[in-house]
Amino acid sequence: MHKIDGYIMRSVGGAILLVMIVVLSLDLIFAFIGELEDKRNNYSSLDALYYVGMTLPRRIYDYLPLGAFMGCLIGLGTLASTSELTVIRAAGISIRRIVWSAMKPALVVILIGLAVGEYLVPDFERAAQSHKAISRGAAQNVASPEGLWHRSEDTYIHVNAVTPDGTLVGLFLFDYGDDHWLDSAAFAERAIYENDHWVLHNLTRTIITPEGTSLEKMNEEIWETGLTPGVLSVLIVDPEDLPMAGLYTYARYLGDQGLQAGAYWLAFWKKLLMPLSTGVMVVVAISFIFGPLRSVTMGFRIFVGLIVGLLFKYMQDFLGPMSLVYGFNPILAIVIPIALNGLFGAYLLRRAG
């Protein structure tokens, strides 16, 4: 009995590993080509290679659910195509036992995904984005499209890049008065956090009055704000690439500031429920093998798997922005696709049993 369990686990685990290698290899190649097409300033081919390499943990995290789903579909599908699955069932092994054996490699994938998403992706992604922005001229007096916008009371802030040690590179400050008119616009090449305040370096400020404008230049100036390097390092990374603790803390911070936090709550629930969504997709893959895809070719099985996986992803991608636009709880955008797929997989397994 244990030999059969081990055989199923090896078949499914090997298929998951193969899918991940193929998908990641293609994704890295196309990502590197895309970076080469967008070179500017001092951003060289080596910088592009460094950026793609540093984003590898994020890519692994993104593709693990697909790898688990396709791996189970291919691994068990291969056993079904060679009639080994029929022999295993004829030996008295129940579908429930086969499902549990196939789920074990998927559980390993889920644990790896949690570890990578929480401990590797945020730091690697922050370093990659910072290196890319600085190589493209983040310290210049031009707002970078890779930067971030933030509002703190009556000041609008744009940061081109945040280095891993918390230094701000290319900081813009737009101060508005009570009449909502722009009072001043400032640019600092760098901002370094010391004790409980920021020190702005090489600051240029344009003061705007009804009489006209005036220009100020200073080597250093203290900037008092409630923003800390920890908060800004959260901002520079896409919500999907942050750890759950960072998402929760920053979403609460935005709520306290009276700002919209829906995107961060959406990312938080998506990461929190990622193990459940991956498990449900694996159950759907297994149900296909015992149901409608029991005796089809491997090519057709892979095609159907890709269609189902894409439908699941597009459903979450569609409901997520809808929750932000129409104001319903972001958790529903994540739970509804999971519930529909779970019911579908359970229905197919019940019919097969």
- Three-class DSSP labels, 50-80: HHHHHCHHHHHHHHHHHHHHHHHHHHHHHHH
Q: Give bridge partners of residue 73 from the DSSP assignment.
A: none
pLDDT at 296 over 70: no
Give the residue-averaged pLDDT of 45-61: 91
* 106, 322 Cβ separation under 8 angstroms: no
pLDDT at 117 over 70: yes
Phi then psi for 258, rounded to 5 degrees? Answer: 75, 25
Confidence of residue 352 (pLDDT cuts 50, 70, 90): low
Q: Cα–Cα distances in Å, from 318 out to 280, 309, 321, 324?
A: 19, 14, 6, 11
pLDDT digit string, tens, across residues 88-114: 877 777 778 888 888 888 888 888 888
Name the residue ranges covered by the structural domains of the chain.
Answer: 2-135+262-352, 148-235
pLDDT for position 243: 83
Give the residue-averaged pLDDT of 50-78: 88
More confident site: 62 or 143:
62
Give all strands (DSSP E) within the chain, no chain letters.
148-152, 155-162, 168-176, 182-194, 197-209, 212-223
pLDDT digit string, tens, across residues 199-231: 999 988 988 887 788 888 888 888 887 777 777
pLDDT at 45 over 80: yes
Q: What whole-number distance in Å separates Cα of residue 215 and Cα of residue 209? A: 12
pLDDT at 138 over 60: no
Closest of 281, 330, 335 to residue 308, by C-alpha: 281
Give the residue-averaged pLDDT of 8-29: 91
* 328, 267 Cβ separation under 8 angstroms: no
Confidence of residue 310 (pLDDT cuts 50, 70, 90): confident
Q: What whole-number distance in Å separates Cα of residue 334 and Cα of residue 341? A: 12
Q: For helices 274-290 and 330-352, what crossing angle results, to 10°?
A: 20
pLDDT for position 165: 77
Q: What whole-number distance in Å separates Cα of residue 63 and Cα of residue 109? A: 10
Closest of 31, 18, 136, 143 to residue 74, by C-alpha: 18
Which positions ≥6 away from 301 have C-beta within 8 Å? Answer: 73, 74, 77, 288, 293
pLDDT for position 146: 62
Phi then psi for 198, rounded to 5 degrees? Answer: -100, 145
**Residue position matching structure tokens 């699955």:** 85
- Written as one string, the DSSP assignment of 106-145 is HHHHHHHHHHIIIIIHHHHHHHHHHHHHHHTTTTSSS--T
Torsion of CA 37, 42, 46, 47, to 10 degrees: -80
Closest of 170, 53, 169 to residue 120, by C-alpha: 53
pLDDT for position 144: 55
Give the residue-averaged pLDDT of 152-171: 82
Q: What is the mean pLDDT of the chain?
A: 82
More confident site: 20 or 345:
20
Confidence of residue 142 (pLDDT cuts 50, 70, 90): low
pLDDT digit string, tens, across residues 250-270: 788 777 777 778 888 888 888
